[in-house]
Chain A
């Protein structure tokens, strides 16, 4: 079937889906791929300025958003796939949407967030200029099996390609992906600031063993989870020097962070409006990737200083006269960062936890026990649990010394707090992925919310 015909069919499918209230970000691509398995490769050829892909466990959506804003500000119009549509069909859908009815691409630079397991396929088809790997945390292990397997899969994809790789130096497993690559292909980013370290004992750490021999790594500094300055006790492996480095980091909770970033092209100094250490890494990754696209430091600095969080990640919503903060939680590292950034030391915070175990959330909820909720009990938050595994969350909290109420429906839980809260009081909503989507959809009926792709 000629490509243009496939494109039209896919576009019609997108229109039909949107008429029925869907997003049109998966079906068109799925359809096109079924009709022509090499469609991704063919469509990618239309991106005359090439593409970049962003992958990793946490931060894909935020980093993609930051980088898109930087490139747009630099006059490079990008085609981006919708967050959550990060499998090959999502990329294809975005590429098809980018074509006019004559099949000509409007925007010429591709920027795609890609699910870790789909990296080999997308890299082989797109042959991107750069692959950004943010981190590898334990996430949905029941889908991938293991971190090592994921890393191995990615390593294969990298070696089979010519792309530049942009790696998080502070993540041992990610840094190990540079092995065997020529020096010029690898760019790293990391934090080298002496004034920060994690609050309290961080036992959420996963992959903290040497990728070569399996022994536990020694950390000179540990930023959070398994990220930090590390070395194998037997000398097999250690944290590499970072190309792009945050030399000064001052965390200011909800207000964001003051950063001093050093790069080969010059230094940046800014206040990043996104909270938490995890967003410092997202900003560093976006900086390194932007430099690979020849964006000068001044432009990067200016865009980062006005950054806005992606939907559902750190989202402030006014609802029934109360201030809601929706803080997506996906895995122990992310959940711990949210606790430390927003809830630690905030006495009596009203919290709703919405824990689902649908496929996209991860079916195994064992991970809740890797979150150091014990550290939170002294702050005495008041919590209502909800979601398909709300009861299991309630049990976890019991063992952490926090007594929580439980109700199945997250919106009911939210309304219960609103009824008891004072005007202008903040309610912290911590949902897993599908719970976040469902809640947003229901809130959108009465509150004007930014589009899901904003």
Chain B
């Protein structure tokens, strides 16, 4: 039987505004090209799921309006997501859901939206938008993307960032930290979308999921010439 990974696309309908769907497409194709299968399931507001059964969980960014409804629903999924995180399930959260994976989000108006506290982080809404092409350096390589957020995320002193900002704003525009990592759970502000032009990041997510499920140690390398060329172009464009 072909090896397969179950990919959960969380809040696909409510948080789908920035091309983050491309991250799902990237995971599916990179598995297919290696002779593996991807089974994608969407889980939305009001839908229950045992997240420990997932191999990869992805959740994208959306508008502030969606954030409130998603924030409320996320509380009902919090326990299952915490268990999954502790069990080593691979997760990638972008922008709005990255913020909700922190402890809380405080809007510009002072309204507090509780998060689920997987990351030791808090986000405060700001009036200045942090927008532009961004490059960060992580322990597994350089990532290139495009950020667009007014929330400033501050990490607790014990919370690891995803990477260090080489060009761009990052979490809060001053700390040079971008994103957050906890075990196999990743959070970032990088759109682009982030996975297609950063194949090493995509493969890291795939490998950790395969490792947990089948004990896989290595992935068949793919020809990433085009992916890297795309990243190079993105990295050279003005901020």
- Which residues of chain A have a CB within 8 Å of any CB of chain B? 138, 141-142, 145-148, 203, 205-209, 211, 213-216, 357, 363-370, 374, 388-389, 391-392, 394-396, 398-400
User: How far, in Å, is B195 (CB) from chain A's closest CB?
Assistant: 10
Which of A209, A391, A398 gathers most chain B CB within 10 Å?
Answer: A209
> Contact: B148 with A142, CB < 8 Å?
yes
Question: Interface-forming stretch among B129-137, B160-168, B177-185?
Answer: B129-137
Cα A366 to Cα B14 with chains together (Å): 17
Which of B66, B226, B227 gathers most chain A CB within 10 Å?
Answer: B226
Query: Is B22 engaged at the interface, CB distance under 8 Å to the other chain?
Result: yes
Whether A214 contacts B68 in the complex (CB less than 8 A), given A148-B63, A357-B237, A388-B237, comes out as yes
> Contact: A208 with B13, CB < 8 Å?
yes
> Contact: A211 with B65, CB < 8 Å?
yes
Query: Is B150 engaged at the interface, CB distance under 8 Å to the other chain?
Result: yes
User: How far, in Å, is B194 (CB) from chain A's closest CB?
Assistant: 9
User: Which residues on B sit within 8 Å (CB–CB) of A205?
Assistant: 16
User: Which residues on B sit within 8 Å (CB–CB) of A207?
Assistant: 63
> Contact: B148 with A395, CB < 8 Å?
no
User: Which residues on A sit within 8 Å (CB–CB) of B131?
Assistant: 142, 363
Question: Interface-forming stretch among B115-123, B203-211, B212-220, B228-236?
Answer: B228-236
Cα A235 to Cα B166 with chains together (Å): 48
User: Which residues on A sit within 8 Å (CB–CB) of B173?
Assistant: none
> Contact: A366 with B193, CB < 8 Å?
yes
User: Which residues on B sit within 8 Å (CB–CB) of A214?
Assistant: 14, 65-66, 68-70
User: Which residues on A sit within 8 Å (CB–CB) of B150?
Assistant: 145
> Contact: A138 with B44, CB < 8 Å?
no
Task: Identify 20 new A-B residue pairs, CB closer than 8 A, beyond the known A138-B17, A400-B25.
Answer: A141-B17, A142-B131, A142-B132, A146-B17, A206-B17, A208-B13, A215-B14, A216-B44, A357-B237, A364-B146, A364-B148, A365-B146, A366-B19, A367-B18, A369-B19, A389-B237, A395-B197, A395-B229, A396-B196, A398-B226
> Contact: A369 with B22, CB < 8 Å?
yes
- Which residues of chain B have a CB within 8 Å of any CB of chain A? 13-14, 16-22, 25-26, 29, 44-45, 63-66, 68-70, 129, 131-133, 146, 148, 150, 191-193, 196-197, 226-227, 229-230, 233-234, 237
Cα A23 to Cα B146 with chains together (Å): 33
Report the nearest A residue to B150, measured CB to CB.
Answer: A145
> Contact: A369 with B65, CB < 8 Å?
no
User: How far, in Å, is A138 (CB) from chain B's closest CB?
Assistant: 6
User: How far, in Å, is A225 (CB) from chain B's closest CB?
Assistant: 12
Contact among A213, A394, A398 with B69 in the assembled complex (CB-CB below 8 Å): A213
> Contact: B18 with A366, CB < 8 Å?
yes
Cα A452 to Cα B215 with chains together (Å): 62
Cα A398 to Cα B225 with chains together (Å): 12
Which of A370, A374, A389 gathers most chain B CB within 10 Å?
Answer: A370
Cα A391 to Cα B17 with chains together (Å): 22
User: Which residues on A sit within 8 Å (CB–CB) of B17?
Assistant: 138, 141, 146-147, 206
Whether A395 contacts B226 in the complex (CB less than 8 A), given A138-B17, A147-B63, A364-B146, comes out as yes
User: How far, in Å, is B27 (CB) from chain A's closest CB?
Assistant: 10
Whether A216 contacts B45 in the complex (CB less than 8 A), given A209-B69, A366-B192, comes out as yes
